[in-house]
Amino acid sequence: MTDLWQQDDALEKHGLMVKGLCQKLEAQAGTQAVVTQTHISTIILAGEFAYKLKKPLKLPFLDFSTLENRHHFCLKELAINQRTAPELYLAVLPVTGSPLAPDIDGQELVIDWLVKMHRFDSSQEFAVMARAGTLTFSLVETLARHLARFHESLPRLSATAVNEKTTLDWLLESFDEIKFHPFFSAMPEATEWESFRQDLKATFENHLPWRQQRIDQGFFRPCHGDLHLGNIVLWQNRVMAFDALEFDDSLSNIDVMNDLAFAYMDLHASRLPELASRLLNTYLEEGGDYEGLRLLPEYAAYRALVRAKIALMQGKNEKFSQYWRLARSFVSPTAPLALVLVYGLSGSGKSTVAQMLGDRVGGIRLRSDTERKRLFNKALKNGLVVNKEVLYSPEASQRVYARLLELAEKLLQAGFIAVVDAVFLHQDDRVLFHNLANRLGVPFRLVSCEAPENIMENRIVKRAQAGKDPSDATVEVLNAQAGSFEPVPGNWEEFSSRVVNDGSLEDLRQKVQRLAGLFVEKQTGGMRK
């Protein structure tokens, strides 16, 4: 292969080649080609396909200046994106001929390389749907499960692979780029630069032992690296992340929670905090990485700061200020903490109430059904036989409540409201959580979920028929629960609330909204140190 691009007019030749490719593709597809540009790429949309070329550039953070490098990074782009979007990323093909008369995968001289992709409807990008108000809880839940399974599939990285240039290095570099931008000194945020930089730097440095622990535990992996909403799409009824970061491994060899933090931050930036909370909760329930939460605030702040820098460079001062404030809010929260127990008999709707409440207040739901299965999945993986008698024995239930108590403490210490979803038949179990709240000095709240017996029975039967819920409760279990339920003592009324769940989902949503307003402010992006 001969490199024709090692000249000052490389970008001009690139432009001529793109023009020639458009003409060729238009003739093949019978429709007009559309060209979109990014800072480092050119994408030609023609017919059912997209053709992505790398611009012949050499920048501080990447080198696409040679034919060999562009080929290498095209191959890498294909490989890393086939992890999450194999149906979109089809092949790496040579561009042959000359800049004035190019062809794709022809017989002449190879002059460049491109990635061939399936074309998709841009209105199905999550960023577009977020702006249009069409992004739903269901789509966000699907995304969360997609990301949790993707992260779980990745190999664990050694300390050597993740310490070349750290997130803290990138963070401080972004602060410097903001400071030295010619327009920044005249902006109101300029007076906050030094204090914010020092605060965020100190937060990262204070948490370096946690970071090392995350590396040792295998949570640093070759991630996507660029999970903003514009890189997530609904294609053929499947949610998938695309356009993973291929040009610098130090930006993608990161903590999986750092990877998730981009989408989480972007939902907050889109003023969709309840969807952000649902994303986080579903991800955690799927994978169980609750300990990663203690680093999420600084990761989210880092993601928002990078977005602020980009907005400033694009002259979007209002956007810059929005991202700057958001970055500060993640590490300077104002909303209060709380430990909330959402309890009731099977079929009373407590899991739905806990989920809605968590969304509303930015809390994390801890579901007993999910954690019970997670505890015993470890036993199953070790070859042990676990039947339902063992799974729901008093000893097993004690283990589950102990695990919920442990996780609730970790959530509160990480700065998140803990919403614990369990039957809580016995007052002794409730007292354990009450004592935890007192020890940590956070408000304690009880939410009793109730429904008529026939409604609870119908819900249990339908849930079992659907086979998609972690709960194994039956009508017989419900009857047993009702016979052994211990009432809450009268002196606990001051922190108790009651939700009667006997109407529509919308009725319940309104009840939960009123309930949230009674004891905790709605969270709009901030978390607590």
Q: What digits encode the pLDDT tens for the residues 308-344?
A: 999 999 999 999 999 999 999 999 877 789 999 999 8
Chain mean pLDDT for the chain:
90
Taking the C-alpha atoms of residue 507 and residue 13, their distance in angstroms, rounded to an integer, is 62
pLDDT at 171 over 50: yes
**Given a cut of 80, is residue 449 above it in pLDDT?**
yes
Q: Are 115 and 243 in contact (CB under 8 A)?
A: no
Cα-based angle 211, 217, 222 (whole degrees, multiple of 5):
75
432-441 CB contacts, 8 Å cutoff, 24+ apart: 432/401, 432/405, 433/339, 433/341, 433/405, 433/408, 436/339, 436/405, 436/408, 436/409, 436/412, 437/339, 440/337, 440/339, 440/409, 440/412, 440/413
Q: Where in the chain is the domain with CATH 3.40.50.300?
A: 339-519
Task: Give the three-state DSSP class for 273.
Answer: helix
Q: What is the mean pLDDT of residues 266-293?
A: 97
CATH top-level class of 126-331? alpha beta
Instruction: Using a cut of 0.75, tell me whether the model's pTM lies above it.
Output: yes
Q: Which two tokens stand for residue 456?
A: 């609870």
CB atoms within 10 A of CB 80: 19
Q: Which CATH class is domain 339-519?
A: alpha beta
pLDDT tens digits, residue range 393-404? 778 889 999 999
Residue with tokens 């602060």: 175
At 521, the pLDDT band (50, 70, 90 cuts) reads very low
| CA atoms of 368 and 451, how far apart (whole Å) | 20
- Predicted confidence (pLDDT) at residue 525 exceeds the cutoff of 70: no
Quickly state the pLDDT bin for 192 (edges 50, 70, 90): very high
Instruction: Give residue 252's identity as a one-letter amino acid code.
Output: S
- pLDDT bracket for residue 279 (50, 70, 90): very high
Quote the pLDDT of residue 415: 92
Residue 526 has pLDDT above 50, yes or no: no
Sort strands 444-450 and 339-343 into parallel, antiparallel or unpaired. Answer: parallel
Position 460: which residue type? I
Res 219 pLDDT > 80: yes
Q: Give ranges for CATH 3.90.1200.10 in the chain.
A: 126-331
Three-state DSSP class for residue 235: strand
Helix (H, G, I), strand (E, B) or coil at 52: strand
Read off the tokens for 518: 């009674």
